[in-house]
Amino acid sequence: MKGGMDDVIAAETLLSHIDGEAGRLVIRGHDLEELAGEMRFEDATSLLWEGLIETGGRDRLSSAIGGGRVRAFARFEPFHDRLADRTPVEAMRFLLASIADESELAAPAALVGATGVAAAMAIRASQGRVPVAPDAGAGHAADLLRMVRGHAPDDAEAGALDAYLVTVIDHGLNASTFAARVVASTRAGAVSSVIAGLCALKGPLHGGAPGPVLDMLDAIGTASNAEPWLNDALGRGERLMGFGHRVYRIRDPRADVLKKALGALEGRGNRLALAEQVEKAALCLLAERKIGLRLDVNVEFYTALLLEALGLPRSGFTPIFAAGRVSGWLAHASEQEASGRLIRPKSHYIGPMPERAA
């Protein structure tokens, strides 16, 4: 038995396929590279949900997500002054937990809108700023950026965030998606599945890594310090944030898609040059010191740089990740519910047995 269930197949899915040996991610029959940077997040959601969740087509889905943002803002705004002492993910968890199962906001498209609003409101609260109301007619990525920063993004910025949200929309049976599916299998409902996904995403071994990636770049400071700094960190037994993956044994294909999107934000405080040097030094050291493990860059490394270049605070990176992954959680929850099967694995008892009288 492997404690991390590494080789266990726990679901059949139409949604996405990861080939860890080839470094390939397929979403609904398309390579990620055909989707990210090529379509808006709403259209990727429509593609992902096809045949699983009724959307009424791309245009109706966009307006249902926009309508969800408006309804969610009305629901969440009264809670704004209760968010101050929470981290952004904790604030988001609190806001999403206020959605009643049978309410209009619990419908899948509305929940996607609500997750974006919760992310934006939570990030602003952590900065001591009042929430910004959504614009139902704007694109989801553009509106998300506007609600976080307080001013509208230009097309390049909105396009870069769309590329990010599409990149993270779904990724096989990762920890948060599995958590969402387990909850869906009990028929607890979509809101509970989304909250379960968010709770799993919160940890630094899953969605919480991009902030620490930037902390690492700050500590390294200059390209010439990369090699000695990383070497010392590995010497202390630390893990390098943004490297390694349970499934990919070569480069995570999402890293390159995000690196390309980052390139489109040239001259906006992007630290691509330093990041490339750090990546190069880290890959050499990991190959030398972790022989046979085949550790490479993962999605979080370039996520950190992209979200930083978009002016998002690092404590807000996991909420923004959730705003994209929510479409995947909901699709998996719906697929799991349709299967009708409760997820209930067994455990192997290794404790003492009571003594029985003969």
Q: How far is the CB of 233 from ligand ACO (least distance, A)?
A: 8
Cα dihedral across residues 77, 324, 209, 344: positive or negative: positive
Q: Indicate the residue among 237 and 352 with the shorter CB distance to ligand ACO.
A: 237
Distances (CA, A) of 253 to 42, 103, 260, 278: 22, 38, 11, 18
Catalytic residue selected from 42, 157, 300, 335: 300
Q: Indicate the residue among 64 and 257 with the shorter CB distance to ligand ACO.
A: 257
Q: How far is the CB of 60 from ligand ACO (least distance, A)?
A: 31
Q: What is the CA radius of gyration of the chain?
A: 21
Catalytic residue flag (residue 300)? yes
Catalytic residue flag (residue 245)? yes
Q: How far is the CB of 251 from ligand ACO (least distance, A)?
A: 12
Contact 321, 298 (CB under 8 A): no
Q: Indicate the residue among 295 and 310 with the shorter CB distance to ligand ACO.
A: 295
Which residue's CB comes closest to ligand ACO? 244
Distance CA 159, CA 279 (A): 25
Q: How far is the CB of 299 from ligand ACO (least distance, A)?
A: 5
Q: Indicate the residue among 28 and 245 with the shorter CB distance to ligand ACO.
A: 245
Q: What is the number of other CB atoms lying within 10 angstroms of the CB of residue 149? A: 18
Structure tokens at 274: 């330093």
Distance CA 148, CA 57 (A): 28
For 283, what's the count of Cα atoms within 13 Å in the CB-facing half-sphere?
13
Helices (H), the chain: 32-35, 41-49, 58-76, 88-96, 108-126, 140-149, 155-167, 175-185, 190-201, 210-220, 226-235, 253-263, 272-289, 299-309, 317-339
Q: How far is the CB of 107 from ligand ACO (least distance, A)?
A: 27
Q: Indicate the residue among 25 and 65 with the shorter CB distance to ligand ACO.
A: 25
Catalytic residue selected from 140, 171, 245, 332: 245
DSSP string, 215-234: HHHHHH-SGGGHHHHHHHHH
- Footprint of ligand ACO on this chain (CB under 6 A)? 205-207, 209, 239-246, 290, 293, 295, 298-300
Among all residues, which ones are annotated catalytic? 245, 300
